[in-house]
Amino acid sequence: MTDQLSPASALDRPLPPRAGGPRLHYAWIIAAVALVVLVGAAGFRSTPSLLMEPLHHEFGWSHGLVGAAVSINVLLNGLAAPFAAALMDRFGIRPVVSVALAVMALGAGVTLVMDQPWELLLGWGFLVGLGSGSMALAFSATVTSRWFVKQRGLVTGVLTAASAAGNLVFLPVLAWLVQQYGWRSASVTVAVCALAVVPVVALLMRERPSDLGLLPYGAPEDHVEPQPPAGRGLRAVRVLREAARTKAFWLLTGSFAICGATTNGLVGTHFIPAAGDHGMAETAAASLLALVGVFDVIGTVFSGWLTDRLDSRKLLGVYYLLRGASLLFLPVLFARTVHPSMVVFIMFYGLDWVATVPPTVALCREWFGEDAPVVFGWVLCGHQIGAAIVAAAAGVIRDQLGSYDVAWYGAGALCAVAAACSLLLRRPEGTAVPLSPPVAATA
């Protein structure tokens, strides 16, 4: 009979949603899979900071060259997210994430046989950056919006913290492998781990609750599954064009670019080789950088609590000034061994690492109303551009001057500029007006 469904097509057909379900809602399994993916993506993305000295000794490649690879990595990590979100809407979460993991594995694998600088830029720069960027904000936002109604904020916070957890889990282990077995062992580990997650995603990830006949976690029985908005790309461009006409957008983007420059771009990329310049073992430096992630989680949660109670402009100003002051002290804290003053720096700096995100999001919401998520996406691109520029520039400074000191002092000064940008913001008059009409009206 031509109207009968084959077994395969019957399995693929979504079931009608139901309010009931298993004791453990499948949304939590989806969240667990997403957490594994995001932890791995964050840890793998940070690996090049461990390879700077080994690649310099084996190939004679400069810190600036390795920094350029990290620069490409960081830039693509930010720019890939909007396109990944569109691909997930078009083709589904499972195929996009599986391909992204395979691309990361390929990028790490390319480095095993490289002997030319362009292969480093292709592997750890382009491929790993593209793969990890496809599994960052777009992935977590898509998962939480589709699978959760209740506890959505909690799950979003946990998945956001996965970046810090990735450094905590992988950096010390990879540093030990590099020290014991050489830098190629880190590349092999990244490639194998990335590929190992692909079957987990293929077997356990599902696109929507309705595929299993479920409602999103915490959704009422009359819940209607939202459809992806039409014209998303056009709206993003339109919002950018309108936002770029405001002073607030450039102040927010400028300050957040400095945020990226002084975190992922400088400390995240160059802290380990800078500590190595002072005789510190790579495993010890990697453990310190991983410890930043622990305090990062605490600081971000506390910052969210403060943002609900204090003026976000003043809060950002204080954050940037404190970060700048800590970076000015950092050059004199490096030593052959870990001492209490360095641990204090790590705790203090870690609390401030991404504490800037909640007040920046709040200011976007205050100024741009319903368009705030789109505007913040563009502000976040500024963050990654700042990180990319400094990741490369700090390596050049080290090559030319033999020390990172100028980079640390320059970062401290940039933080003062970011604080000034934050304090120059003024409360918008009246209620923020969306920069573009609702998507349904513009499609």
Tens of pLDDT along 253-280? 999 999 999 998 899 889 999 999 999 9
Which residues does residue 214 pair with via DSSP β-bridges, in sequence order?
18
| Contact of 103 with 131, CB cutoff 8 Å | yes
Task: Decide if pLDDT at 290 tops 70.
Answer: yes
Which residues does 419 contact at the CB level (< 8 Å), separation at least 6?
255, 316, 317, 318, 320, 321, 324
Q: What is the average per-residue pLDDT within 127-133?
A: 86
Task: Decide if pLDDT at 371 tops 80.
Answer: no
CA atoms within 13 A on the CB side of 93: 28
Q: What is the average per-residue pLDDT within 227-255?
A: 80
Task: Decide if pLDDT at 306 tops 90.
Answer: no
Predicted local confidence at residue 410, as pLDDT: 95
More confident position, 84 or 165: 84
| Contact of 104 with 44, CB cutoff 8 Å | yes
Tokens of 215: 């409602």
Task: Decide if pLDDT at 22 tops 60.
Answer: no
Task: Decide if pLDDT at 418 tops 90.
Answer: yes
Which residues does 87 contact at the CB level (< 8 Å), separation at least 6?
96, 134
Predicted local confidence at residue 433, as pLDDT: 42
* % of the chain at pLDDT higher than 70: 84
What domains are there in the chain, each with its CATH number?
Answer: 18-218 (1.20.1250.20), 231-426 (1.20.1250.20)
Measured distance CA(255)–CA(385) in Å, rounded: 12
Predicted local confidence at residue 393, as pLDDT: 92
Q: What is the average per-residue pLDDT within 333-361?
A: 88
Rounded to 5 degrees, what angle do the CA atoms 219, 220, 224 make?
Answer: 80
Lowest mean pLDDT segment, chosen from 99-103, 225-229, 438-442: 438-442
Predicted local confidence at residue 138, as pLDDT: 65
Which residues does 314 contact at the CB level (< 8 Å), separation at least 6?
422, 423
More confident position, 38 or 12: 38
Task: Decide if pLDDT at 195 tops 60.
Answer: yes
Q: What is the average per-residue pLDDT within 79-86?
A: 72
Task: Decide if pLDDT at 252 tops 60.
Answer: yes
Q: What is the average per-residue pLDDT within 356-371?
A: 82
